[in-house]
Amino acid sequence: MLIGISLGPGDPELITIKAQKTLKQADKVYVPGERARDLVKPYCQPETLKFPMTSDQEVLQKYWNKHVEKIAPIAREKKVAFAVLGDVNFFSTFGHIKRIFEEKHPDIQIKTIPGVSAITAMASKMDVFIDKSFQVTDGSQQQSKIIMKATELNQQINALEKEGYNEFILGKELYTENEEITTKIPEESPYFSILLARKNPEKNPEEQK
């Protein structure tokens, strides 16, 4: 098993209890750099993997592939953790590792543990309260949109489809005993619902209907 662990923005006190517990229980822990290493050292003895600071995708791909092949044999037999700053599912090194694992080693189970993201940490540090729509971008063309409090789904889906979104995942009351995740989108949903919309050029428009 491979577990992606989110360490948060850098404050040791913002590492979640679940992340701490998993770091202690893992048979092997990898980190992509010194800052992540220093954060996890109170809980385990990590191995640091080198990743070059470059935007050259060809170079990065070689390192991602190399590290995946190093990790895979261990993850197939034991519990392996890969810990990163921020959140593993947002603009992280682990996202690329996970993608290659799914392509080359689909038999290995992968889980992720969320953490305090740079976005929520920023709001706290800057003392700002956000209660209207806002955009988070790395400057590339927008391919995903998240709708909070997704209750009037018929209306919201219709508007998103006009913008070119064609893949939808609905989460209801996540991380509670009533949690539900579905791609079969109903007309309405409870208040604590979140909708992920994506532009997927490979998806047949009829697939989700």
State which residues form the domain around 9: 2-118
Sequence-distant (≥ 6) Cβ neighbours of residue 20 within 8 angstroms:
43
- In three-state secondary structure terms, 120 is helix
Q: Is residue 176 part of a domain?
A: yes
Do 18 and 113 belong to one domain? yes
Whether pLDDT at 44 is above 60: yes
Token pair 């517990």 in the structure block, residue: 21
Q: Which of 81, 88, 108 is nearest to 24 (CA)?
A: 81
- In three-state secondary structure terms, 101 is helix
- Residue-level pLDDT at 137: 85
The pLDDT of 50-69, averaged and rounded, is: 94
Task: Compute the C-alpha angle 148/154/156, nearest 5°.
Answer: 40
d(CA 95, CA 89): 6
pLDDT digits (tens, 9 = 90+) for 6-29: 999 999 999 999 999 999 999 999
Q: Is residue 188 part of a domain?
A: yes
Q: Is residue 137 part of a domain?
A: no
pLDDT digits (tens, 9 = 90+) for 169-198: 999 999 999 999 999 999 999 999 999 999
Whether pLDDT at 203 is above 80: no
Do 85 and 171 belong to one domain? no
| Helix residue spans in the chain (DSSP H) | 17-25, 34-40, 57-77, 93-104, 118-125, 153-162
Do 109 and 179 belong to one domain? no
The pLDDT of 108-116, averaged and rounded, is: 97
Q: Is residue 135 part of a domain?
A: no
pLDDT band at 101 (very low <50, low <70, confident <90, very high): very high
Q: Which long-range contacts (CB under 8 A, 24 or more apart) does 67-76 make?
A: 67/30, 67/97, 68/97, 68/100, 68/101, 68/104, 68/105, 71/2, 71/30, 71/97, 72/101, 72/104, 72/105, 72/108, 74/27, 74/28, 75/1, 75/2, 75/101, 75/105, 75/108, 76/105, 76/107, 76/108
pLDDT band at 121 (very low <50, low <70, confident <90, very high): very high
d(CA 163, CA 150): 17
Q: Is residue 111 part of a domain?
A: yes
pLDDT digits (tens, 9 = 90+) for 29-43: 999 999 999 999 999
pLDDT band at 60 (very low <50, low <70, confident <90, very high): very high
Q: Is residue 139 part of a domain?
A: no
pLDDT band at 204 (very low <50, low <70, confident <90, very high): low
- The total number of structural domains in the chain stands at 2
pLDDT band at 201 (very low <50, low <70, confident <90, very high): confident
Q: Domain end: 100, 118, 136, which one?
A: 118
